[in-house]
């Protein structure tokens, strides 16, 4: 059992880190700042300070609800009209996992570990599949954790500082009558999806509930700014608890190769997004962001901050997540059979 004072260290470090990052003008300050502060405290103290109970789920619930409210009827029509591009982009990013598989296999990593460590999403599900196929589950988990850290730190910064400054968008109106009902509906759907053991329920459940309601009733609503920042802070604190001294010391050669193929996958995703945007005549920046390896939460928040197409990025990420969930194991079995 953690000591009572330990329960306060993580949230306090997250508040300080988020506040300092916001003063410094960092992108997504309450997520990136809290993430770095929690990692720093855990590494400096060399102690595994506790994660806030249910913090990541609550953060995903709030952030996903805000993302879902972007899906007005007009936006949904645009997403449906871009469906061929979204499908090509999702399959394209799935193929980028071949970079990681090739690098890890050349280094002598076993087939199952290389395969599931290289998948571009669904970290917890990939660890479960790794256990089922006798892979090194700890290395698979480490690979996904390091990729998540890189995406959170690099992608928002590169897109924010690499583009011209954008003026703050007009804030959508807040209607608490609708919001309370939608937040409750999202929580119920998340719990239902969780019982069915569906992937990422606290992200996809609230997102679905809010997107369906927003498109059906053309709501044009948003979350209060403070509530969105609170969700980012919760996520940043939770993500920071994945890392400590032992993590960075474990299998440095393996982690270095994960770093290499993640950076190569980012470059390849940027190139694919540029080409696909040119061929289809669509917003190449939104396509590039949506095709980046990483989590739906971080990339959709980046799209929102930069006033890119949140719906397009979300659609790419959701489709890719489901492709990974349902195709990873059959493709791995097919690969093993072809080399039997």
The tens place of each residue's pLDDT in the chain, 340 residues long, gives: 444 556 788 889 999 999 999 998 887 788 888 989 998 998 888 877 777 788 888 998 998 898 888 888 887 887 788 888 888 888 888 888 999 999 999 998 999 999 999 988 777 778 878 888 888 888 888 888 888 888 888 888 887 776 666 555 567 788 889 999 999 999 999 999 889 877 778 888 998 999 999 989 888 888 887 888 898 899 888 888 878 888 778 778 888 999 999 999 989 988 988 888 888 777 788 888 888 887 777 788 788 777 788 888 888 888 888 888 788 888 999 998 887 6
- The DSSP letter of residue 292 is S
Task: Compute the distance between CA of residue 149 and CA of residue 139 in angstroms, rounded to an integer.
Answer: 15
Answer for the pair 133, 181: CB distance below 8 angstroms, yes or no: no
What is the DSSP annotation of 256-288? HHHHHHHHHHHHHHHHHHHHHHHHHTS-HHHHH
Task: Compute the distance between CA of residue 17 and CA of residue 36 in angstroms, rounded to an integer.
Answer: 7
Task: Compute the distance between CA of residue 161 and CA of residue 103 in angstroms, rounded to an integer.
Answer: 30
- Model pTM greater than 0.85? no
Task: Compute the distance between CA of residue 74 and CA of residue 211 in angstroms, rounded to an integer.
Answer: 12
């Amino acid at each position: 059992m953690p000591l009572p004072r330990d329960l306060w260290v993580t949230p306090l470090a997250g508040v300080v880190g988020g506040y300092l990052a916001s003063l410094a003008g960092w992108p997504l300050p309450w997520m990136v700042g809290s993430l770095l502060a929690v990692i720093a405290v855990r590494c400096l103290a060399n102690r595994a300070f506790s994660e806030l109970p249910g913090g990541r789920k609550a953060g995903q619930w709030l952030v996903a609800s805000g993302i879902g409210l972007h899906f007005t009827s007009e936006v949904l029509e645009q997403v449906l009209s871009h469906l061929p591009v979204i499908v090509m982009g999702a399959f394209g990013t799935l193929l980028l996992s071949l970079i990681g598989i090739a690098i890890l296999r050349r280094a002598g990593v076993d087939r199952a570990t290389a395969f599931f460590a290289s998948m571009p999403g669904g970290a917890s599900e990939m660890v479960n599949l790794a256990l089922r196929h006798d892979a090194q589950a700890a290395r698979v988990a480490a690979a996904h954790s390091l990729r998540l850290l890189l995406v959170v730190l690099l992608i928002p910064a590169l897109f924010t500082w690499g583009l011209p400054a954008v003026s703050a968008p007009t804030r959508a109106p807040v209607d608490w009558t609708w919001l309370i009902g939608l937040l409750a509906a999202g929580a119920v759907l998340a719990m239902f999806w969780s019982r069915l053991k569906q992937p990422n329920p606290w992200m996809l459940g609230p997102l679905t509930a809010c997107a369906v309601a927003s498109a059906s009733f053309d709501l044009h609503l948003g979350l209060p700014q403070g509530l969105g920042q609170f969700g980012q802070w919760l996520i940043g604190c939770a993500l920071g608890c994945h890392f400590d001294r032992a993590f960075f010391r474990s299998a440095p050669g393996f982690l270095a190769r994960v770093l290499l193929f993640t950076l190569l996958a980012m470059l390849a995703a940027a190139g694919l997004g540029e080409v696909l945007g040119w061929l289809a005549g669509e917003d190449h920046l939104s396509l590039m962001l949506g095709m980046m390896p990483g989590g739906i939460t971080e990339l959709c928040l980046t799209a929102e901050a930069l006033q890119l197409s949140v719906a397009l990025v979300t659609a790419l990420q959701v489709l890719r997540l489901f492709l990974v969930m349902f195709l990873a194991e059959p493709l791995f079995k097919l690969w093993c059979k072809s080399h039997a």
